[in-house]
Structure 1
């Protein structure tokens, strides 16, 4: 029988019958998890006594901590956010998640915690699968730290295709250029929590590699690269090249808890090679016609309505960057509101004119 993922669950609503207690019970019924639940006052006592072992795959803390007493009538004065720093200090090698009933989105990322999940998503099978997948990925990273002694080792661990390795290495933060083995525990000006190298690396993967355009591209960007409209791309082109695109799909850690992504340079090279003698540095201008696609399905810039947009851009009022639209570089401006590190593409904002 496989070992269960041990989860420490901190909440002040564990007494009586309520949705949070039911959530803990449902997680414990899942054969993949072993959940140990504590009231925050009780866990602080255990920590102060020095009797809390470093045995957990993941720690989950209620974000709000509504001020409910424990069985002795004792109240916790801290909120869940402050507890994350306590656990980061105690267990720098263990990821800490927050859980919230008021979270609008299912998942968010933060500096002092590794992820925030909605209570609602964990009541679903998809949420429990996500939790199990994340636990497995954190465990895999922790187990491999001492074998990741170089940038090449990291690329191999993430199964980066050969022609995308250089782009990937350029995107790595300086602290990981020599691998995870040699990345010491650090305190930065922005984040004062002590974290092990594999936790910081996981945070970089989830905050940058899998969410920002650069070494990897998403479905919208892939459609632009092929020069066709998104819906047509999903129904026709992606289906036509399903086998080939599968080779370039990201399948490293945390792939299961994110949208599908593809290695940019590898896909670009493939599209250029498809063109043969028509090969060009701007394949999106040639590939639709080369594949015999009617121009009614070609991608158009959302601003000027001309063909051949080169990028995905966002409305200036869309602070969450949720609406992605194809556009020409000339019809956009580069946003200065977002910190984009080396190796990643800038955020393009649609010109308002």
Structure 2
């Protein structure tokens, strides 16, 4: 698979610079063609994505002494539930041309993407994530809610769907399994309603479980199948959907089936969705607690540091501390960076 990428390059000043960049890139394995334009400070590269990627091209430009202009975008992604979701999103992003790096974090529900702005725009990145079946919000989106609020909303939605599923699946299981366990219960049920009425009641109970409580699995599962990237959602969709549709056909047109095979499996569809919802609920709650713990640890990270430069003690942002700086730590203060003790004594 070939990709055509355009890269803005900083630092080129003459025709020799152009020639140097072209020679280095054309020698790179997987690069089929490279043309560098000094006037626009851009390189047009055609590469074989099976042999190399934009990251290798960017590294080669950096190795030649120039800088490839890149941008970084961050997206908040809802609906992720497992490592497979992370891999699916990263795969969907990396299929796009001009992607230097794509990192998706399940704990923070965030995707950090480094890309070539001359090749691809953030809107296409967002569209790729949406097409993979996930809800995405850009870091600067004005309608963004705080992460804690989004997590609470997701947990509340899961709780609501789980309660509905449990409330309807438990009586469904009693109707289906009860007569197998207790003949007395079976006799009492048949006195109350005929067998066909109980079969229709099973359908009434399971339909909200599938259509309402389990709708998330069908929307996300269909998106996974459309992109030929099946996962847990598509598995739940196929399993519960097959049980529901087969049972509905056996209920409404039993004559289509051989004698004795028009059985109902509504309880299978309900139990599948209910148990998976329970797992999602527990996972989301645990992930929220883990995220809170990470944030508490990050708050302990000092934001500023005192350093000695040219005999003067300066207080600077910790990001500006350079290798070789002497950092001054006063009693009781947090240590802002790794290092070796060169003098003095104190309590930490």
TM-score, structure 1 normalization: 0.25
Instruction: Name whichever structure is richer in strand by fraction.
Output: 2
Instruction: Name whichever structure is richer in helix by fraction.
Output: 2
Bigger-Rg structure (1/2): 2
TM-score, structure 2 normalization: 0.25
